[in-house]
A and B are shown apart, each in its own frame.
Chain A
Amino acid sequence: MAILETQELTYTYSIGSPFEKTAVDHVDLAINEGEMIGVMGHTGSGKSTLIQHFNGLLKPTSGRVLLDGRDIWADKKKIRDVRFQVGLVFQYPEYQIFEETVFRDIAFGPKNMGLDEAEIKRRVLETSNDIGLPEELMERSPFELSGGQKRRVAIAGVMAMEPKVLILDEPTAGLDPAGRDLILQHIKAYHKRTKNTILIVSHSMEDIASFADRILVMNKGRLFCFDETEKVFARAEEISQIGLDVPQITKVFMELKRRGINFGKEVYTVGYAKELLLKSLKERRKS
């Protein structure tokens, strides 16, 4: 069953002014429960505007957004509830930290949900564990932490609401390779434990390839494609033409195909490339 759906979703801003622009243009999509989705698109493709519709921060100019089959704008007064079920973590979320202790900042979301103290505590501690924040940090000021730790506090703050759908906008932006890997690992572990639906917006196809069941590609406000990872990488040529960076290894295999060596499979990780090549070379040795 689709947990999140859009029907002809359109968003135009500055209507009537000379700056009028359609950021999201008649987008139809359906996301299934438990999926891990990668969202890609060049800057200005509408992906940031799109995801802000999922948690009701933006209201569609036309079209509908359905959560569990129900239009989220059916009752305007209940829109806040949607934000507890669809959690959105913005880029550089550490800039939104404000509380005196790590515990209280993570607890902000659950507190706004009206939960009792015991439940809030349980969620904060469990989420901190999920995201790799040791318990000793709970009573410290979040402003004393390193950049990577602050980021995890901010992400935990949204995860603690235990949203059915968790959306992260470039969670690894600005982090070094080790930091990037760490965050992605934690998110994957969270997914494994809770089986919640997760959407990650990223510019890195390498990263997306490592976790996505399906990939959503936006181009100039429209949905370019929304398909299984393998199928999207099969269209690598088209993808690079709409301004997205294809992983190096994919480019290598695209070129090999052009030169006559075709493996018949899409390659986007080094591990898989190595496997394919070793197998193929061994077979040639035998023959």
Chain B
Amino acid sequence: MENIIEIENLHFAYKGEGDEASPPEEVLKGIDLTIKQGEFVAVLGHNGSGKSTLAKHINAILLPTEGKVTVDGIDTKDEEKLFDLRQRAGMVFQNPDNQIVSSIVEEDVAFALENLGVPYEEMRQRVDDALRDVGMYDYRLHSPSQLSGGQKQRVAIAGIIAMRPKCIILDEPTAMLDPQGRKEVLATIHRMNREQGITIVLITHYMDEAADCGRVVVIDKGRIVMDGAPEKVFARVDELKKIGLDVPQTTELAYELKRAGYKISPEIIKVDECVEALLALFKK
């Protein structure tokens, strides 16, 4: 599978903070990251780690102070190809309300296509398909104020899917949702990844969301400190706690038992894995 996102030596500092004598503090300090088409990557970090700033570089909301970001072969600094870039790398934000432009669901989903000048017949089809993909077709004529947070986020996702992107970046999409809404949104993006092969980059601080992904990248103080399969990353319990992150309760328990001398792998995330491992301990 080819690389869809290539980030090389990305440095970034916000302009205007700091002066001649002391340059502004870098928020991103040399990020190298490659993501292949079809991957589902969680970017985990505490607030202030730079994870959202990193996300905003992928579709050129922010441009690097140093280094390069390439998406599907397009350099984010290329102004002429900006719309091509944003059509291939869609972005979903944290606040469900502040992404919805229209007072009718289906018109909001069509917004990007209207901007891209897609002719009516094709637009109609793509809007309906996108609404069905996220399970909101029955609500297409509703007003957003009648929807729950989870439903609004799904509408936002549909608006991106209608563009037929190669990848979707979601910046803490469930932070403002209740448990029901979180489940809906996560199920939707997992399905998009599985069924349509859309690359997903999920920015989050919830480790249970990261636990379900194929790959977890941990950011701390503007640098990538861990990158690998969830069970391998979460097994590093002490390091994660030091940088202010949490691990699943099951992982922590296994880790503690291992430290106490028992033969149990700390690469445990799910409840059933934990149960089996504990039962195994008791059988010895």
Q: So, do A and B actually touch in the complex, CB under 8 Å? A: yes
- A255 in contact with B275 given A270-B256, A273-B253, A281-B262 (CB within 8 Å): yes
In the complex, whether A193 has a CB less than 8 A from a CB of chain B is no
A270 touches B175 (CB 8 A): no
A248 touches B148 (CB 8 A): no
B279 touches A176 (CB 8 A): no
- A259 in contact with B279 given A248-B248, A249-B249 (CB within 8 Å): yes
Enumerate B267-282 residues with CB–CB distance to A below 8 Å.
271-272, 274-275, 278-279, 281-282
In the complex, whether A174 has a CB less than 8 A from a CB of chain B is yes
A152: min CB distance to chain B, Å: 14
B271 touches A248 (CB 8 A): yes
- A176 in contact with B278 given A248-B249, A270-B252 (CB within 8 Å): no
The residue on B at minimum CB distance from A274 is: B256
In the complex, whether B21 has a CB less than 8 A from a CB of chain A is no
A176 touches B282 (CB 8 A): no
B175 touches A177 (CB 8 A): no
A-B contact count (CB 8 A): 86
B244 touches A177 (CB 8 A): yes
A251 touches B271 (CB 8 A): yes
List the B side residues contacting A177 at CB < 8 Å.
46, 205, 207, 244-246
B232: min CB distance to chain A, Å: 19
Enumerate A249-287 residues with CB–CB distance to B below 8 Å.
249, 251-252, 255-256, 259, 261, 270, 273-274, 277-278, 280-281, 284
A263: min CB distance to chain B, Å: 11
Instruction: Give the CA-CA distance A273 to B257 in the complex, in Å.
Output: 10
List the A side residues contacting B246 at CB < 8 Å.
177
- A43 in contact with B180 given A176-B244, A177-B46 (CB within 8 Å): yes
Measured CB to CB, the residues of A under 8 A from B are 42-43, 146-148, 173-179, 203, 206, 243, 245, 247-249, 251-252, 255-256, 259, 261, 270, 273-274, 277-278, 280-281, 284
Measured CB to CB, the residues of B under 8 A from A are 46-48, 148, 175-176, 178-181, 205, 207, 244-246, 248-250, 252-253, 256-257, 260, 262, 271-272, 274-275, 278-279, 281-282
26 contacts between A and B (CB under 8 A): A42-B178, A42-B180, A146-B47, A147-B47, A178-B47, A178-B244, A245-B179, A247-B249, A248-B249, A249-B249, A249-B250, A252-B250, A252-B278, A255-B272, A255-B275, A256-B278, A259-B279, A270-B249, A270-B252, A274-B257, A274-B260, A277-B253, A278-B257, A280-B282, A281-B282, A284-B282
